[in-house]
Amino acid sequence: MKKNIAITPPMGWNSWDCYGASVTEDIVRKNADYMAKNLKDFGWEYVVVDIQWSEPTADSHQYHPFTELNMDEYSRLIPAPNRFPSSADGKGFKPLADYVHGLGLKFGIHIMRGIPRQAVHNNTKLLGTDKTARQIADLDSICHWNTDMYGVDPEKEGAKEYYESIFKLYASWDVDFIKIDDIANHYPKKEVEMVKNALDSCGRDMVLSLSPGPAKLEEAEHLKQFANMWRITDDFWDQWKPLYEMFERAEKWCIHSGPGHWPDADMLPLGALRLDYPDNNQTQFTEDEQYTMMTLWAIMRSPMIMGGDMVYNDDFTLSLMTNKGILEMLKKARNSRPVFRKKIDGREIVLWTAFRDGGGKYMAVFNLSDEAATFSIDLSETEIDERDLTELWSNKVWEVNGDYIEISLNPHGALGFICK
């Protein structure tokens, strides 16, 4: 681990949930502007351009198969200048990164594992080796949902040089964050190691984020060593079922989070989503579900990457992203763990605790049932000795009767406490 990378769970914004493959430089700049103005002080910093920035005709969440991508002479994808005008004349993402850096933020990009199919079909050159694209490709290793790339066979001569050549390019653009796709679930270990080694030798610190999930629990120690964050689910969207299922994933992965290595519950589908579609643009989560998501992400210490176009944030959405107590929990929770998951009066209640760096504890309580729940918690049973409790969403000091507190939760609702 490089100590200055991802010491706490990364926080930022990503263009996928709102624009799919079709984001443009203008949108990125506007979201960066918004973040700098409204969110930077709360810890939000990464601005990430998601998939297919080299595809000139991308216009939605649907990919155009076999369309021509923008590529340099060494088989490396470069931004499509019609969508990212500042990238013209071989400047790549450097001007946009400069802009983001100028706002005091950090800049990230998405890449696909492998080498462009068009490079393999045309058998183009590679940088730093006399091998060619076709010679390093693994022709049986394709992505199941996108036709851009073939996998790279790590055993092939020239493979290492190819991966080094792309990370050198990203370093020359001053990129701070790489989200690499089609790699976390099937987890081609040798290719992961080659990616990480190429990053480590590129001369610039970058967060390495692996997608999509679910990553395999049995690879936890390898993931901790070779990545800064990795997806523990398939793509997460604004529906209750996957949010409900996240609790089990969180239980399994919670012992594996720590400085530089974070199990990632995926982007936050909040606010304005799917803007390439005519309607259904607002998150389908209820407000309670949004509290639940933010509270779980915070206490389990998942990276928080906003998925909606922030320019359209309403007050509620902005309030979720600027709750200082919750965001402090994300940074200061330690040894987070589920304490119980049980039926109380027929409601499925989950309770987590964590210690707080600097003193005190955190406690989060969730109602996973479709009905409201009212019950007492015996703090001594949960090993909470503190009796000064403040609920973080309401900023309300909670009444404690001896060892007991009373809880009322809406369906799918959550409360988060700081205990001092």
Is residue 344 within the footprint of a copy of itself (CB under 8 A)?
no
CA 368 to chain CA centroid, Å, is 24
Q: How far is the C-alpha of 114 from the C-alpha of 133, rounded, in Å?
A: 10
Asked whether the CA dihedral 53, 55, 57, 61 is positive or negative, the reply is negative
In the list 60, 132, 147, 172, the residue contacting a copy of itself (rule: CB under 8 A) is 147
Closest by alpha carbon to 392, among 361, 359, 358, 350? 361
Stretch of residues binding a copy of itself (CB under 8 A), selected from 41-49, 271-279, 310-318, 333-341: 333-341
Rounded to a whole number of angstroms, the minimum distance from the CB of residue 231 to a copy of itself is 20
Q: How far is the C-alpha of 142 from the C-alpha of 135, rounded, in Å?
A: 16
Closest by alpha carbon to 331, among 293, 303, 291? 303
Rounded to a whole number of angstroms, the minimum distance from the CB of residue 36 to a copy of itself is 29
Residue 124: half-sphere exposure toward Cβ, Cα within 13 Å: 18
- Give the nearer residue to a copy of itself in terms of CB position, either 27 or 354: 354
Going residue by residue from 347 to 366, which x/- string records binding to a copy of itself, judged by CB under 8 A?
Answer: ------xxx-x-x-------
Q: Is 274 exposed, middle or buried (0-12, 13-18, 19+ CB in 10 A)?
A: buried
In the list 86, 209, 336, 367, the residue contacting a copy of itself (rule: CB under 8 A) is 336
Element of type H or E holding 392: none
Question: In sequence order, what are the residues at sequence separation of 6 or more whose Cβ sits closer than 8 angstroms to the Cβ of residue 162?
Answer: 75, 115, 126, 127, 129, 136, 152
Stretch of residues binding a copy of itself (CB under 8 A), selected from 103-111, 337-345, 394-402, 410-418: 337-345
Is residue 259 within the footprint of a copy of itself (CB under 8 A)?
yes
* Residues between 212 and 241 with contacts to a copy of itself, criterion CB under 8 A: 221, 224-225
Is residue 337 within the footprint of a copy of itself (CB under 8 A)?
yes
- Give the nearer residue to a copy of itself in terms of CB position, either 142 or 171: 142
Is residue 120 within the footprint of a copy of itself (CB under 8 A)?
yes
Q: Give yes or no for a contact between 40 and 13, defined as CB atoms under 8 angstroms apart.
A: no
Give contact residues for a copy of itself (rule: CB under 8 A): 1, 3, 7, 65-66, 120-121, 123, 134, 139-140, 142, 144-145, 147, 221, 224-225, 251, 254-255, 258-260, 334-342, 353-355, 357, 359, 378, 380-383, 385
